[in-house]
């Protein structure tokens, strides 16, 4: 797994998470898989966070 991609803890302030994810704070929501924060709402919405997507794409 890419070590630079880390789960954003749900207790993280939405404004801080938005900076890390490059979106607006009102677009932040929980990952469907791990409950970490992701861009859950809006035109670039992702149900799965970057950390979970990186795990799915990692070579086995």
Please provide the distance, in angstroms rounded to a whole number, between the alpha carbons at the two ends of the chain. Answer: 10
Verdict on whether the full-model pTM lies above 0.95: no
Whether pLDDT at 18 is above 50:
yes
Whether pLDDT at 56 is above 50:
yes
CA distance 43 to 8: 20
**What is the structure's pLDDT at 3?**
56
């Amino acid at each position: 797994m890419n070590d630079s991609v880390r789960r954003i803890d749900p207790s993280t302030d939405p404004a801080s998470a938005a900076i890390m994810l490059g979106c607006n704070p009102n677009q932040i929501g929980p990952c469907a898989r791990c409950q970490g924060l992701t861009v859950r709402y809006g035109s670039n919405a992702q149900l799965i966070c970057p950390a979970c997507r990186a795990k799915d794409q990692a070579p086995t």
